[in-house]
């Protein structure tokens, strides 16, 4: 089960466009909940952006809840925070697959953020992503289709325009390199989101 933690948000922009939420955040809690994703969530909420963020303590079983699947479908933008242990979570991978489905069928915007992870590692499932997928192949050896769906989703998401944050430097989809500590980077994301949601 998941919950929407935006009681203080008063944005009507999502409703005006037929969406319930402005932003859905997909992330690995143990990696970024108390750092990047947490700051991003609170920054968006303080600026009136209607954000859906799940509560890992309420997760049960192996499958995504209908509430979480519905939240993904009803969000205008999905921000995927790829971090070191993202692929080790089957929940994150199921979220990712659903997000890519909505990207193709509902016109959802998908913005990947590569948090101390190179996009090529995600794209080709190397390093920690390769290790995680190898473990999933063993665990789900009776469901090859599921694992292939996750691999395809990782590949496709890593090819989308987004931002890479590595050692204090940020690169965007144009490969422009510039120094940006975490907080300025967060505010850059917030500014772009606000510009799109309010004027896009």
Rounded Cα distance, 95 and 147, in Å: 13
What is residue 75's DSSP assignment? E
**Catalytic residue chosen out of the listed positions 63, 95, 156, 166:** 95
43: tokens are 């920054």
Whether the CA torsion 98, 99, 102, 103 is positive or negative: it is negative
Q: Are strands 163-166 and 21-27 parallel, antiparallel or unpaired?
A: unpaired
**8 touches 45 (CB < 8 A):** yes
Alpha-carbon torsion (123, 95, 130, 82), positive or negative: positive
95 is catalytic: yes
Quote the CA–CA distance of 168 and 152 in Å, as a whole number. Answer: 29
Three-class secondary structure of residue 79 per DSSP: strand
Residues in the chain: 200
Residues carrying an active site annotation: 95
């Amino acid at each position: 089960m998941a919950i929407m933690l935006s009681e203080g948000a008063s944005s009507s922009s999502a409703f005006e466009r037929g969406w319930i939420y402005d932003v859905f955040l997909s992330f690995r809690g143990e990696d970024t909940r108390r750092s990047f994703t947490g700051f991003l969530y609170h920054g968006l909420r303080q600026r009136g952006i209607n954000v859906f963020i799940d509560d890992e303590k309420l997760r049960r079983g192996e499958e995504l809840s209908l509430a979480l699947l519905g939240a993904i479908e009803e969000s205008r933008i999905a921000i995927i925070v790829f971090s070191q242990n993202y692929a080790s979570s089957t929940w994150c991978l199921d979220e990712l697959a659903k997000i890519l489905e909505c990207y193709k069928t509902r016109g959802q915007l998908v913005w990947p953020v590569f948090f101390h992870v190179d996009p090529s590692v995600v794209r080709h499932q190397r390093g920690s992503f390769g290790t995680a997928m190898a473990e999933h192949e063993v665990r789900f050896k009776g469901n090859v289709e599921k694992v292939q769906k996750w691999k395809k989703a990782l590949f496709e998401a890593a090819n989308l325009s987004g931002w890479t944050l590595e050692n204090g430097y940020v690169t965007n989809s144009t490969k422009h390199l510039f120094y940006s500590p975490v907080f300025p980077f967060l505010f850059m994301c917030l500014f772009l989101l606000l510009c799109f949601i309010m004027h896009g």
